[in-house]
């Protein structure tokens, strides 16, 4: 019992360490030691009583767009500055029931719109591996929290790679579960048909434990599927040897273009050979509509966002512009001051593509192409392929401020947005380092086939051993 409270105390102290705060790496945006300790005490009592828990006393950091009690939920935006949710996300309630204790809220791109955590109203987060570099985004704070050792597990959210890309950049494991595996209730919406809560951890097994702790149907979310929650995978030791016998892994050509960073390619080649060595059958496959994923994503996600962000109007919560003459001015001033440039850009794009006369040409068309992208995956998985292996990102972490062109920034998600569009589960895990910078490898499987995804990832993780982090 003492142990749970000590663990929480230590994690809360790390979360409050100025090195991780605003004047440091800018990973943590809010803490509440009092509330964390009170929760730890409740966990200690329940655990002492013998309540079954998969994460007793596990300190977690939570992305600032997931509703928590006792700490603000601001989405890295001025428009929600000081906002504390009166209710808690289903995912958080379930993690707490398994003994987890929230110790920090983490920095993020404003409303999860970005791939570098630079669009946050709190300023950019620095990558613990190399503070001159970006941790990726939008869940950069949570990836960095795990990489810096603040917590063992952190929650992020994905709309188009926002967990896997920062996981790759920071050298940790990042999971994007199947759309519908985890309730979105309490996750502030960006692109509702794409959004999914995800997990960062230092090991595949811990990532799986946290994923399953949150999984399962939720009466508060109609898009959350009521499918059975799988059992937690075996510890890593169980994956030594030819544990991938009978598993077919596809290597999609479109994810290895000539422009791919040579170091990333080299590390992937090693990982593929390791998978083969574990007994997997490696086959070349094609997902021909991959190149359309970024344009499709940048129609659907902003369209949904333009509507989802309409509620931030200054009427019920958040700062409201006071120096105005009428309602229209109040809306304009509140939203002009509250939202940053990237959010405004996407609201404009989204409003445009849904406008009368453009809907068919953009939104409707994008939905048709999205169906083609999904069909690509269905065809490959239908042909006997159990999992796909790809690089997570085209390059390792870039320097803060280095990517200024929005389109270039969007391209850093080229290998990850497809899983969001198709709704399938995907994981990124470290497969080595080049010049000290981590490289991520990605494994994708069928809808709700997280067990296979974790199985392949855990086997690869075990086989790479220390090499993954070397």
Interacting residues with another protein (CB under 8 A)? 65-67, 73, 75, 80, 83, 85-87, 89, 184-189, 191-193, 219-223, 303-304, 306-307, 309-313, 315-317, 327, 331, 351, 354-356, 359, 363
Q: Write down the least CB distance from residue 443 to another protein, Å.
A: 27
How many CB atoms are located within 10 Å of the residue 301 CB? 28
Strands 248-252 and 387-391: parallel
Residue tagged active-site, from 36, 157, 162, 183? 162
Phi, then psi, of 265 in degrees rounded to 5 = -60, -45
75 or 213: CB nearest another protein: 75
186 or 425: CB nearest another protein: 186
Strand order in the sheet with 101-106: 28-30, 101-106, 59-63, 153-158, 196-201, 173-176, 426-434, 437-444, 387-391, 248-252, 281-285
Q: Write down the least CB distance from residue 184 to another protein, Å.
A: 6
Residue tagged active-site, from 36, 63, 139, 203? 63
Q: Write down the least CB distance from residue 186 to another protein, Å.
A: 4
63 is catalytic: yes
70 or 263: CB nearest another protein: 70
State the sign of the Cα–Cα–Cα–Cα dihedral 345, 347, 352, 353. Answer: positive
Phi, then psi, of 274 in degrees rounded to 5 = -65, -40
Q: Write down the least CB distance from residue 465 to another protein, Å.
A: 40
Token pair for residue 424?
């399938």
Residue tagged active-site, from 138, 139, 203, 428? 138
Q: Write down the least CB distance from residue 85 to another protein, Å.
A: 7
Token pair for residue 439?
């490289």
138 is catalytic: yes
Q: Write down the least CB distance from residue 313 to another protein, Å.
A: 6
41 or 313: CB nearest another protein: 313
Burial class (CB in 10 A: 0-12, 13-18, 19+), 8: buried
162 is catalytic: yes
Strand, coil or helix: 155: strand
Token pair for residue 244?
């991938």
49 or 316: CB nearest another protein: 316
Q: Write down the least CB distance from residue 319 to another protein, Å.
A: 14
327 CB-near residues (< 8 Å, 6+ apart): none
Tokens 């570098």 label which residue? Answer: 116
Strand, coil or helix: 308: helix
Could you tell me the CA-to-CA distances from 417 to 107, 321, 365 in Å, in that order? 21, 36, 17
Q: Evaluate whether 183 touches 222 at the Cβ level (below 8 Å).
A: no
287 or 303: CB nearest another protein: 303
Tokens 């001033």 label which residue? Answer: 333
Angle between helices 262-277 and 450-464 (to 10 degrees): 100
Could you tell me the CA-to-CA distances from 220 to 155, 184, 216, 314 in Å, in that order? 20, 9, 12, 25
2 or 316: CB nearest another protein: 316
Alpha helices in 161-239 (DSSP H): 164-170, 204-214
Which residues carry out catalysis? 63, 138, 162
């Amino acid at each position: 019992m003492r142990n749970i409270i000590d663990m929480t105390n230590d994690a809360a102290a790390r979360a409050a360490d100025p090195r991780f705060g605003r004047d440091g790496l800018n990973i943590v945006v809010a803490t509440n030691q009092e509330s964390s300790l009170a929760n730890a005490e409740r966990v200690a009592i329940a655990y002492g009583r013998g309540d079954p828990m998969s994460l007793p006393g596990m300190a977690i950091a939570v992305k600032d767009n997931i509703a928590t009690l006792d700490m603000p939920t601001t989405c890295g935006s001025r428009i929600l500055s000081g906002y504390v949710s009166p209710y808690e996300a289903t995912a958080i309630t379930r993690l707490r029931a398994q003994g987890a204790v929230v110790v920090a809220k983490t920095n993020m791109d404003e409303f999860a719109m970005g791939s570098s955590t630079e669009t946050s109203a709190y300023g950019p987060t620095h990558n613990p591996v190399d503070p001159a570099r970006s941790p990726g985004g939008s869940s950069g704070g949570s990836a960095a929290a795990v990489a810096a050792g603040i917590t063992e597990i952190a929650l992020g959210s994905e709309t188009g790679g926002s967990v896997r890309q920062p996981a790759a950049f920071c050298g940790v494991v990042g999971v994007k579960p199947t759309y519908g595996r985890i309730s979105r209730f309490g996750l502030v919406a960006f692109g509702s048909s794409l959004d999914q809560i995800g997990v960062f951890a230092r090991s595949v097994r811990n990532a799986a434990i946290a994923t399953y702790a949150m999984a399962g149907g939720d009466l508060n979310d109609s898009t959350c599927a009521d499918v059975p929650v799988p059992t937690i995978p075996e510890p890593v030791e169980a994956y030594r040897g030819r544990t991938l016998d009978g598993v077919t892994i596809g290597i999609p050509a479109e994810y290895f273009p000539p422009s791919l960073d040579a170091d990333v390619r080299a590390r992937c080649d090693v990982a593929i050979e390791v998978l083969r060595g574990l007994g997997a059958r490696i086959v070349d496959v094609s997902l021909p509509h991959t190149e359309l994923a970024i344009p499709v994503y940048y129609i659907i996600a902003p369209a949904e966002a333009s509507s989802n962000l309409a509620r931030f109007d200054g009427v019920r919560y958040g700062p409201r512009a006071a120096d105005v003459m009428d309602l229209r001015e109040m809306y304009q001033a509140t939203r002009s001051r509250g939202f940053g440039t990237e959010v405004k850009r996407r609201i404009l794009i989204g409003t445009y593509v849904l406008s009368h006369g453009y809907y068919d040409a953009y939104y409707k068309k994008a939905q048709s192409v999205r169906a083609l992208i999904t069909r690509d995956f269905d065809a490959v998985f239908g042909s006997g392929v159990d999992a796909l292996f790809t690089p997570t990102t085209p390059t390792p972490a870039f320097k803060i401020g280095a990517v200024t062109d929005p389109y270039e920034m969007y391209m850093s998600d080229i290998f990850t947005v497809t899983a969001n569009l198709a709704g399938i589960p995907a994981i990124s895990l470290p497969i080595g380092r080049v010049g000290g910078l981590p490289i991520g490898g990605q494994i994708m499987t069928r809808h709700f086939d997280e067990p296979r995804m974790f199985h392949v990832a855990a086997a690869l993780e075990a086989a790479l051993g220390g090499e993954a982090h070397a």
